[in-house]
Amino acid sequence: MATDELCFLNVTELAALIKARQVSPVELVQALLRRIDTWNDDLLAYLHVSAEQALAAAHAAEIEISGGGYRGPLHGIPVAYKDIYDVQGLPTTAGSKIMAGYVAPADSASAARLRQAGAVCLGKLNTIEFASGSMDVFGDARNPWNTLMFPGGSSAGSGTALAAHLVPMATGSDTGGSIRNPASFCGIVGLKPTYGRISRAGVIPLSWSLDHAGPMTRTVADTALMLQAMAGPDPRDPSAALQPVPDYHAALREDLQGIRLGVPRTFYFEHADPEVIDAVHQALEAMQQLGASVREVDLPHSCYGPAASWSIAYSESFAFHRANFFTRSREYTAAFLHKITAAACLTAEERVTAQRVRQVITAEFLAALEHVDAIVTPTTAYAAYPIGGASPQADVRSLTRPVSLTGLPALAVPCGFTSTALPVSMQLVGRAWDESMLLRIGHAYERAADWFTRRAPLAARTLPPLELPPAPPLSAVDAQWVMDFARLTGLSFVTEADAAPVAAALSPVRAQLDAAREQLAASCEPPVRPAPGW
């Protein structure tokens, strides 16, 4: 096999070759470094390539394997980390000037566990600032299926690197969809595990109550192997659960006999692009041919989930960044500063409304999952859009944010392509701690459909502009309201130039929360205790 072809093999294929000593970890790392050197200037997947350290680790892995010390299927396999994960001795930038000069003194929990499993770190991957701003500081990562297109946020570099075959596995983080969205746009597999399944220690937080660390790969079987290494309790993270970790790879099957799939009646298919809807429906038919049954489920409050998720996540983010906002606000990108400041302008009642919506949506998912093994939706309502072309309304149309509120596991799996050759993805949502079921379903479908064998062209193509669904009506928030609110609440860093973009970010969220408030029963409380199953 030509060494360059090693870059196109998946983790399970490479593991078998390395175990049999037919492929050396050193030649694999060398092949990937050559490919990174060829393509990274164009794609900007990596912010830091640790070539010397990777080669040293690969040599060590080769010696250990040759001496009979094979650790398992990730031994000698390269991995790269979203640049909010600490890896000892490497910079963690979070895509921000705020982090300039920081070098991680220790591994994050995930990096430590993957290192223990024998994985070889290739470097750090591009991300939007603090997982919710822009990539203005270091430049935009490019989508390998069309380099004019956005690869999805905020694990953008992870999606790009995997789709471009610059690494066989990568980490991501998901607060409102930041693993699943780039998985969708880049035609790869991404898992948001159950909240608490993987430790968040050593990962810069966006939202303490919504952040999920997770694996990203090109196949479901590879995701299972990576999850196996990353999952488990951790005293450094109080949210890391004590739940037992099963054998995820052993759960994989190539049939779906007896599996019950639920399809939501409302919201998830209402505003999606027709090509996306068609692809997901065809995937459902394929899964029925594999033995699954399909029924409708009710998730009527999901339409309010995007604003609730946005409000909770960015209110927590403001609390985390508050001190720097007052002393270093102009060192943040405008996109991050304005979005997080908008959350600081929510009222106390609006934040409570968001939490009440979270409770209702979680209850609806738990009720639906009593009757089905997984819920199937599109991952994103449309395929990748042009870089810089996102609508301000995109956050309140998100199909991933309602699921994030629940803490339930969700797997994004490729399920086709649009007429313009951009990937389409479906989202599988399962019961708490039952990632095995999602991996089983995703693997069986993936093997039958075979989408994962396609290779991205790594070239630009001219495409028509994205047509997003009509925007919801805006609530009464304008620049003057923002300035008045900022003065009353002491947000002294907010200037008149900030007021209009802050108002634009806040308006659709407040409108959706206003609509949600009218639909909530008076007896609906915010979460005051763990949901069933936690």
Tell me the catalytic residues.
Answer: 82, 154, 178
Q: What whole-number distance in Å separates Cα of residue 441 and Cα of residue 499?
A: 47
Q: What whole-number distance in Å separates Cα of residue 166 and Cα of residue 159?
A: 10
Q: Assess contact for 261 and 292: CB atoms under 8 A.
A: yes
How is the beta sheet containing 293-297 ordered, strand by strand?
A: 46-49, 120-125, 78-82, 169-174, 212-217, 189-192, 410-417, 423-429, 374-378, 260-264, 293-297
Q: What whole-number distance in Å separates Cα of residue 418 and Cα of residue 425?
A: 11
The phi and psi torsions of 502 (rounded to 5 degrees) equal -65, -45
H or E segment and range at residue 356: helix 348-368
Q: What whole-number distance in Å separates Cα of residue 92 and Cα of residue 103?
A: 6
Burial class (CB in 10 A: 0-12, 13-18, 19+), 494: buried
* Residues sharing a CB contact under 8 Å with residue 306, sequence separation 6 or more, in sequence order: 176, 395, 396, 397, 398, 401, 402, 512
Q: Assess contact for 342 and 318: CB atoms under 8 A.
A: no
Strand partners, 215: 171
H or E segment and range at residue 512: helix 496-519
Q: What whole-number distance in Å separates Cα of residue 426 and Cα of residue 406?
A: 18
Burial class (CB in 10 A: 0-12, 13-18, 19+), 447: middle
Cα dihedral 475/348/488/327 (nearest 10): -100
Amino acid code (one letter) for 13: E
Q: What whole-number distance in Å separates Cα of residue 74 and Cα of residue 303?
A: 40
Bond before 154 cis per omega within 30 degrees: yes
Nearest to 316 by CA among 227, 229, 239, 240: 239
Indicate the DSSP class of residue 397.
G
Nearest to 207 by CA among 243, 162, 154: 154
Q: What whole-number distance in Å separates Cα of residue 96 and Cα of residue 93?
A: 6
